Protein backbone atom coordinates (compact mmCIF):
# COMPACT_ATOMS: atom_id res chain seq x y z
CA UNK A 1 0.00 0.00 0.00
CA UNK A 2 2.94 2.36 -0.41
CA UNK A 3 1.56 3.02 -3.87
CA UNK A 4 -2.20 2.74 -4.48
CA UNK A 5 -4.62 3.79 -7.17
CA UNK A 6 -4.85 1.69 -10.34
CA UNK A 7 -3.27 4.25 -12.74
CA UNK A 8 -0.48 5.06 -10.27
CA UNK A 9 0.28 1.37 -9.75
CA UNK A 10 0.64 0.89 -13.51
CA UNK A 11 2.80 3.99 -13.86
CA UNK A 12 5.08 2.93 -11.02
CA UNK A 13 5.54 -0.58 -12.42
CA UNK A 14 6.41 0.77 -15.86
CA UNK A 15 8.72 3.45 -14.49
CA UNK A 16 10.47 0.94 -12.24
CA UNK A 17 11.38 -1.13 -15.30
CA UNK A 18 12.51 1.98 -17.16
CA UNK A 19 14.65 3.10 -14.23
CA UNK A 20 16.10 -0.38 -13.70
CA UNK A 21 17.14 -0.73 -17.33
CA UNK A 22 18.45 2.84 -17.52
CA UNK A 23 20.77 2.18 -14.57
CA UNK A 24 21.82 -1.18 -16.01
CA UNK A 25 23.02 0.41 -19.26
CA UNK A 26 25.39 2.65 -17.28
CA UNK A 27 26.98 -0.15 -15.25
CA UNK A 28 30.57 -1.29 -15.78
CA UNK A 29 30.99 -4.07 -16.67
CA UNK A 30 27.75 -4.40 -18.61
CA UNK A 31 25.33 -6.83 -16.91
CA UNK A 32 25.22 -10.26 -18.58
CA UNK A 33 21.48 -10.00 -19.25
CA UNK A 34 22.22 -7.25 -21.77
CA UNK A 35 24.38 -9.56 -23.90
CA UNK A 36 21.51 -10.80 -26.06
CA UNK A 37 17.80 -10.43 -26.59
CA UNK A 38 17.27 -13.95 -25.22
CA UNK A 39 19.11 -13.19 -21.97
CA UNK A 40 17.27 -9.89 -21.63
CA UNK A 41 13.91 -11.64 -22.05
CA UNK A 42 14.84 -14.39 -19.61
CA UNK A 43 15.94 -11.82 -17.04
CA UNK A 44 12.86 -9.63 -17.31
CA UNK A 45 10.24 -12.39 -17.47
CA UNK A 46 10.19 -13.16 -13.70
CA UNK A 47 10.31 -9.44 -12.91
CA UNK A 48 7.25 -8.85 -15.09
CA UNK A 49 5.50 -11.82 -13.45
CA UNK A 50 6.24 -10.49 -9.97
CA UNK A 51 4.98 -7.01 -10.76
CA UNK A 52 1.86 -8.38 -12.48
CA UNK A 53 0.89 -10.50 -9.47
CA UNK A 54 1.45 -7.77 -6.87
CA UNK A 55 -2.02 -6.12 -7.17
CA UNK A 56 -4.47 -8.51 -8.90
CA UNK A 57 -7.59 -6.31 -9.04
CA UNK A 58 -6.05 -3.28 -10.79
CA UNK A 59 -6.18 -4.20 -14.50
CA UNK A 60 -4.11 -1.13 -15.50
CA UNK A 61 -1.07 -2.91 -14.09
CA UNK A 62 -1.58 -5.85 -16.43
CA UNK A 63 -1.98 -3.46 -19.35
CA UNK A 64 1.32 -1.74 -18.56
CA UNK A 65 3.17 -5.04 -18.28
CA UNK A 66 1.58 -6.23 -21.55
CA UNK A 67 2.88 -3.13 -23.32
CA UNK A 68 6.42 -3.83 -22.10
CA UNK A 69 6.17 -7.49 -23.04
CA UNK A 70 4.97 -6.34 -26.45
CA UNK A 71 8.18 -4.40 -27.03
CA UNK A 72 10.19 -7.56 -26.35
CA UNK A 73 7.93 -9.74 -28.47
CA UNK A 74 8.17 -7.37 -31.43
CA UNK A 75 11.96 -7.26 -31.17
CA UNK A 76 12.18 -11.03 -30.96
CA UNK A 77 10.03 -11.43 -34.06
CA UNK A 78 12.22 -9.00 -35.99
CA UNK A 79 15.35 -10.81 -34.83
CA UNK A 80 14.02 -14.17 -36.00
CA UNK A 81 13.13 -12.74 -39.40
CA UNK A 82 16.52 -11.02 -39.71
CA UNK A 83 18.52 -14.14 -38.91
CA UNK A 84 16.44 -16.26 -41.28
CA UNK A 85 16.93 -13.77 -44.13
CA UNK A 86 20.50 -12.58 -43.68
CA UNK A 87 22.21 -15.48 -41.96
CA UNK A 88 25.37 -14.57 -40.02
CA UNK A 89 25.14 -10.88 -40.85
CA UNK A 90 21.58 -10.88 -39.54
CA UNK A 91 22.70 -12.52 -36.31
CA UNK A 92 25.36 -9.86 -35.76
CA UNK A 93 22.86 -7.10 -36.40
CA UNK A 94 20.37 -8.73 -34.03
CA UNK A 95 22.99 -8.86 -31.30
CA UNK A 96 23.80 -5.18 -31.73
CA UNK A 97 20.09 -4.30 -31.57
CA UNK A 98 19.76 -5.25 -27.87
CA UNK A 99 20.63 -1.71 -26.92
CA UNK A 100 17.85 -0.32 -29.10
CA UNK A 101 15.38 -2.78 -27.54
CA UNK A 102 16.40 -1.63 -24.06
CA UNK A 103 15.91 1.98 -25.10
CA UNK A 104 12.52 1.02 -26.50
CA UNK A 105 11.54 -0.54 -23.19
CA UNK A 106 12.68 2.57 -21.31
CA UNK A 107 10.70 4.83 -23.65
CA UNK A 108 7.58 2.65 -23.37
CA UNK A 109 7.81 2.57 -19.59
CA UNK A 110 8.00 6.34 -19.41
CA UNK A 111 5.16 6.71 -21.91
CA UNK A 112 2.81 4.70 -19.68
CA UNK A 113 3.19 7.36 -16.99
CA UNK A 114 3.34 10.40 -19.28
CA UNK A 115 0.09 9.56 -21.09
CA UNK A 116 -1.87 9.46 -17.84
CA UNK A 117 -2.05 13.19 -17.05
CA UNK A 118 -3.39 14.27 -20.44
CA UNK A 119 -6.15 11.69 -20.53
CA UNK A 120 -7.11 12.48 -16.93
CA UNK A 121 -7.76 16.11 -17.86
CA UNK A 122 -9.80 14.96 -20.85
CA UNK A 123 -11.89 12.68 -18.64
CA UNK A 124 -12.33 15.45 -16.09
CA UNK A 125 -13.80 17.74 -18.74
CA UNK A 126 -15.99 15.06 -20.36
CA UNK A 127 -17.31 13.81 -17.03
CA UNK A 128 -18.02 17.29 -15.68
CA UNK A 129 -19.92 18.23 -18.85
CA UNK A 130 -22.03 15.06 -18.62
CA UNK A 131 -22.92 15.66 -14.96
CA UNK A 132 -23.87 19.28 -15.66
CA UNK A 133 -25.99 18.33 -18.67
CA UNK A 134 -27.68 15.55 -16.71
CA UNK A 135 -28.48 17.89 -13.82
CA UNK A 136 -29.99 20.45 -16.17
CA UNK A 137 -32.05 17.80 -17.99
CA UNK A 138 -33.49 16.77 -14.63
CA UNK A 139 -34.50 20.31 -13.76
CA UNK A 140 -31.77 21.20 -11.26
CA UNK A 141 -30.60 24.80 -10.97
CA UNK A 142 -26.86 24.62 -11.67
CA UNK A 143 -26.22 28.36 -11.39
CA UNK A 144 -24.88 27.98 -7.84
CA UNK A 145 -22.89 24.86 -8.65
CA UNK A 146 -23.34 21.18 -7.89
CA UNK A 147 -22.77 19.02 -4.83
CA UNK A 148 -20.80 15.90 -5.70
CA UNK A 149 -19.86 12.90 -3.55
CA UNK A 150 -16.79 10.73 -4.14
CA UNK A 151 -15.31 7.63 -2.54
CA UNK A 152 -11.69 6.81 -1.71
CA UNK A 153 -8.91 8.81 -3.40
CA UNK A 154 -8.73 9.25 -7.16
CA UNK A 155 -6.66 12.42 -7.55
CA UNK A 156 -3.00 13.15 -8.21
CA UNK A 157 -2.00 10.81 -5.39
CA UNK A 158 -3.67 7.88 -7.19
CA UNK A 159 -2.59 8.72 -10.74
CA UNK A 160 0.27 10.46 -12.52
CA UNK A 161 -1.58 13.75 -12.09
CA UNK A 162 -4.98 15.52 -11.97
CA UNK A 163 -6.95 12.36 -11.25
CA UNK A 164 -9.96 10.45 -12.55
CA UNK A 165 -13.11 10.96 -10.47
CA UNK A 166 -11.40 13.69 -8.48
CA UNK A 167 -10.41 15.18 -11.83
CA UNK A 168 -14.13 15.64 -12.59
CA UNK A 169 -14.58 17.44 -9.28
CA UNK A 170 -11.49 19.55 -9.97
CA UNK A 171 -12.76 20.53 -13.41
CA UNK A 172 -16.16 21.50 -12.01
CA UNK A 173 -14.35 23.69 -9.49
CA UNK A 174 -12.13 25.24 -12.17
CA UNK A 175 -15.13 26.27 -14.29
CA UNK A 176 -17.07 27.60 -11.29
CA UNK A 177 -19.71 24.86 -11.32
CA UNK A 178 -18.90 23.08 -8.04
CA UNK A 179 -20.70 24.08 -4.88
CA UNK A 180 -19.16 21.46 -2.59
CA UNK A 181 -17.33 18.16 -2.78
CA UNK A 182 -18.20 15.47 -0.25
CA UNK A 183 -15.97 12.47 0.32
CA UNK A 184 -16.07 9.36 2.47
CA UNK A 185 -13.33 8.49 4.92
CA UNK A 186 -12.93 5.19 3.02
CA UNK A 187 -12.04 2.90 5.88
CA UNK A 188 -10.20 0.83 6.84
CA UNK A 189 -7.22 2.49 5.14
CA UNK A 190 -8.73 5.99 5.25
CA UNK A 191 -7.71 7.01 1.75
CA UNK A 192 -10.46 9.63 1.86
CA UNK A 193 -9.73 11.22 5.20
CA UNK A 194 -5.96 11.08 4.69
CA UNK A 195 -5.43 11.63 0.94
CA UNK A 196 -8.55 13.12 -0.63
CA UNK A 197 -8.78 15.53 2.29
CA UNK A 198 -5.23 16.70 1.62
CA UNK A 199 -5.76 17.11 -2.13
CA UNK A 200 -9.01 19.06 -1.80
CA UNK A 201 -7.51 21.29 0.90
CA UNK A 202 -4.42 21.93 -1.24
CA UNK A 203 -6.59 22.79 -4.26
CA UNK A 204 -8.78 25.02 -2.05
CA UNK A 205 -11.91 23.17 -3.16
CA UNK A 206 -14.87 23.53 -0.76
CA UNK A 207 -15.27 20.09 0.75
CA UNK A 208 -16.79 18.06 3.56
CA UNK A 209 -15.68 14.68 4.89
CA UNK A 210 -18.24 12.11 5.99
CA UNK A 211 -17.91 8.69 7.59
CA UNK A 212 -18.66 5.78 5.26
CA UNK A 213 -21.84 5.00 7.22
CA UNK A 214 -23.17 8.55 6.71
CA UNK A 215 -23.83 8.38 2.96
CA UNK A 216 -27.54 7.68 3.41
CA UNK A 217 -27.94 10.50 5.91
CA UNK A 218 -26.11 12.87 3.56
CA UNK A 219 -28.60 12.11 0.77
CA UNK A 220 -31.49 12.68 3.17
CA UNK A 221 -30.26 16.09 4.32
CA UNK A 222 -28.36 17.58 1.36
CA UNK A 223 -29.01 17.90 -2.36
CA UNK A 224 -26.38 15.66 -3.97
CA UNK A 225 -26.32 15.94 -7.74
CA UNK A 226 -23.93 13.09 -8.56
CA UNK A 227 -21.63 10.45 -7.13
CA UNK A 228 -18.33 10.08 -8.99
CA UNK A 229 -15.89 7.24 -8.36
CA UNK A 230 -12.84 5.72 -9.97
CA UNK A 231 -12.33 2.07 -10.88
CA UNK A 232 -9.73 -0.64 -10.66
CA UNK A 233 -11.36 -2.88 -13.25
CA UNK A 234 -14.49 -2.63 -15.40
CA UNK A 235 -15.96 -5.76 -16.97
CA UNK A 236 -17.45 -5.94 -20.48
CA UNK A 237 -20.99 -5.40 -19.15
CA UNK A 238 -20.01 -2.39 -17.04
CA UNK A 239 -19.73 -4.10 -13.65
CA UNK A 240 -17.08 -2.12 -11.78
CA UNK A 241 -14.57 -3.08 -9.11
CA UNK A 242 -13.49 -0.19 -6.93
CA UNK A 243 -12.47 0.56 -3.37
CA UNK A 244 -14.51 -1.19 -0.70
CA UNK A 245 -17.57 0.88 0.16
CA UNK A 246 -18.27 1.92 -3.43
CA UNK A 247 -21.08 -0.64 -3.79
CA UNK A 248 -22.74 0.69 -0.61
CA UNK A 249 -22.71 4.23 -2.00
CA UNK A 250 -24.12 3.03 -5.33
CA UNK A 251 -27.04 1.23 -3.68
CA UNK A 252 -27.97 4.32 -1.65
CA UNK A 253 -27.52 6.61 -4.67
CA UNK A 254 -29.94 4.41 -6.64
CA UNK A 255 -32.49 4.68 -3.83
CA UNK A 256 -32.26 8.47 -3.93
CA UNK A 257 -32.13 8.69 -7.74
CA UNK A 258 -28.68 10.26 -7.70
CA UNK A 259 -26.63 9.45 -10.84
CA UNK A 260 -23.68 7.22 -10.07
CA UNK A 261 -20.77 7.86 -12.45
CA UNK A 262 -17.59 5.81 -12.92
CA UNK A 263 -14.53 7.57 -14.33
CA UNK A 264 -11.53 5.57 -15.53
CA UNK A 265 -9.08 5.39 -18.45
CA UNK A 266 -9.57 2.90 -21.26
CA UNK A 267 -6.76 0.84 -19.74
CA UNK A 268 -9.10 0.00 -16.83
CA UNK A 269 -11.68 -1.63 -19.12
CA UNK A 270 -11.31 -5.41 -19.28
CA UNK A 271 -13.35 -6.63 -22.23
CA UNK A 272 -11.99 -10.15 -21.75
CA UNK A 273 -14.31 -10.82 -18.81
CA UNK A 274 -18.09 -10.84 -19.24
CA UNK A 275 -19.11 -9.47 -15.84
CA UNK A 276 -17.98 -8.61 -12.33
CA UNK A 277 -18.07 -12.18 -11.06
CA UNK A 278 -14.80 -12.79 -12.95
CA UNK A 279 -12.94 -9.87 -11.36
CA UNK A 280 -10.32 -11.08 -8.85
CA UNK A 281 -10.74 -9.34 -5.50
CA UNK A 282 -7.69 -8.59 -3.38
CA UNK A 283 -7.99 -9.28 0.34
CA UNK A 284 -5.76 -7.25 2.62
CA UNK A 285 -4.19 -8.58 5.85
CA UNK A 286 -6.89 -8.76 8.57
CA UNK A 287 -4.84 -6.64 10.99
CA UNK A 288 -5.13 -3.62 8.66
CA UNK A 289 -8.85 -3.39 9.43
CA UNK A 290 -8.03 -3.12 13.13
CA UNK A 291 -5.63 -0.18 12.87
CA UNK A 292 -5.75 3.58 12.44
CA UNK A 293 -2.79 5.80 11.68
CA UNK A 294 -2.08 9.49 12.05
CA UNK A 295 -0.61 12.12 14.30
CA UNK A 296 -1.15 12.04 18.05
CA UNK A 297 -3.54 14.56 19.56
CA UNK A 298 -2.90 15.26 23.23
CA UNK A 299 -5.87 15.83 25.54
CA UNK A 300 -3.65 17.63 28.02
CA UNK A 301 -3.20 21.38 28.05
CA UNK A 302 -6.29 22.22 26.03
CA UNK A 303 -6.04 19.43 23.47
CA UNK A 304 -3.04 20.73 21.55
CA UNK A 305 -1.52 18.77 18.69
CA UNK A 306 1.98 17.34 18.92
CA UNK A 307 3.01 18.16 15.34
CA UNK A 308 5.79 15.60 14.91
CA UNK A 309 4.21 12.66 16.73
CA UNK A 310 2.87 9.92 14.44
CA UNK A 311 1.40 6.60 15.48
CA UNK A 312 -0.37 3.46 14.28
CA UNK A 313 -2.91 2.36 16.86
CA UNK A 314 -4.94 -0.83 17.20
CA UNK A 315 -8.56 0.11 17.91
CA UNK A 316 -10.10 -3.35 18.29
CA UNK A 317 -9.56 -6.07 20.88
CA UNK A 318 -7.33 -8.97 19.87
CA UNK A 319 -9.39 -10.94 17.38
CA UNK A 320 -8.93 -14.32 15.73
CA UNK A 321 -7.28 -12.70 12.72
CA UNK A 322 -6.45 -15.94 10.95
CA UNK A 323 -9.72 -17.68 11.83
CA UNK A 324 -12.30 -15.49 10.03
CA UNK A 325 -12.34 -12.96 12.85
CA UNK A 326 -11.98 -10.11 10.34
CA UNK A 327 -13.35 -9.78 6.79
CA UNK A 328 -11.14 -7.34 4.89
CA UNK A 329 -11.61 -7.22 1.10
CA UNK A 330 -9.91 -4.24 -0.47
CA UNK A 331 -12.49 -3.90 -3.26
CA UNK A 332 -16.15 -4.56 -3.99
CA UNK A 333 -18.00 -4.85 -7.29
CA UNK A 334 -20.81 -2.45 -8.22
CA UNK A 335 -23.26 -4.02 -10.71
CA UNK A 336 -23.72 -1.98 -13.89
CA UNK A 337 -27.46 -1.69 -13.24
CA UNK A 338 -26.59 0.77 -10.45
CA UNK A 339 -24.29 2.86 -12.68
CA UNK A 340 -25.65 5.74 -14.75
CA UNK A 341 -22.55 6.30 -16.92
CA UNK A 342 -18.94 5.27 -17.40
CA UNK A 343 -16.53 8.00 -18.49
CA UNK A 344 -13.23 7.35 -20.26
CA UNK A 345 -10.98 9.57 -22.36
CA UNK A 346 -12.91 8.29 -25.39
CA UNK A 347 -16.31 9.52 -24.20
CA UNK A 348 -19.30 8.51 -22.06
CA UNK A 349 -21.11 5.18 -22.13
CA UNK A 350 -24.57 5.62 -20.60
CA UNK A 351 -26.83 2.92 -19.26
CA UNK A 352 -30.10 2.99 -21.17
CA UNK A 353 -33.30 3.26 -19.11
CA UNK A 354 -34.32 -0.13 -17.67
CA UNK A 355 -31.09 -1.71 -18.98
CA UNK A 356 -29.02 -3.87 -16.65
CA UNK A 357 -25.69 -3.45 -18.45
CA UNK A 358 -23.54 -0.80 -20.13
CA UNK A 359 -21.78 -1.29 -23.46
CA UNK A 360 -18.30 -0.17 -22.43
CA UNK A 361 -16.92 -1.16 -25.83
CA UNK A 362 -18.36 2.17 -27.04
CA UNK A 363 -15.68 4.04 -25.10
CA UNK A 364 -12.82 1.54 -25.25
What does residue 225 show for φ and ψ, rounded to 5 degrees?
A: -95, -20
Q: Are 347 and 341 in contact (CB under 8 A)?
A: no
Q: Are 105 and 72 in contact (CB under 8 A)?
A: yes
Q: Are 112 and 65 in contact (CB under 8 A)?
A: no
Catalogue the E-assigned strands of the chain: 146-150, 178-184, 207-210, 226-229, 233-235, 240-243, 260-263, 269-270, 291-297, 305-314, 331-334, 341-344, 347-350
What does residue 204 show for φ and ψ, rounded to 5 degrees?
A: 60, 40
Closest CA to 244 of 326, 319, 325, 301: 326
Cis peptide before 29 (omega within 30 of 0): yes
Closest CA to 261 of 109, 185, 151, 182: 151
Q: Are 43 and 247 in contact (CB under 8 A)?
A: no
CA distances (Å), 210 to each of 132, 184, 245, 256, 290, in order?
23, 5, 13, 18, 20
DSSP 204: T
Catalytic residue, chosen from 116, 212, 232, 239, is 232
Q: Is 133 a catalytic residue?
A: no
- Parallel, antiparallel or unpaired: strands 305-314 and 291-297: antiparallel
Torsion-angle region of 283 (φ positive above 0: left; ψ -120 to 50: alpha; else: beta): beta
Q: Which residues are catalytic?
A: 232
Amino acid sequence: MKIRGAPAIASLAALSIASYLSRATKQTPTPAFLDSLESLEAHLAPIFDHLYSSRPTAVNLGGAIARLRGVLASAKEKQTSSVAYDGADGAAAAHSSVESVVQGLIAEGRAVADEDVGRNKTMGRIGADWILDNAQKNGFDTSNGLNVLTVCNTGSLATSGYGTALGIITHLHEVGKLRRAYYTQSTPYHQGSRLTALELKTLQIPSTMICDSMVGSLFQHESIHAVVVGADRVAKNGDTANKIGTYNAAVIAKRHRVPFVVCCPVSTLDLSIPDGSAIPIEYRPPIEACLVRGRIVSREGGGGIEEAAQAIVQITPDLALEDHGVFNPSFDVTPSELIAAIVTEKGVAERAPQATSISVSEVS
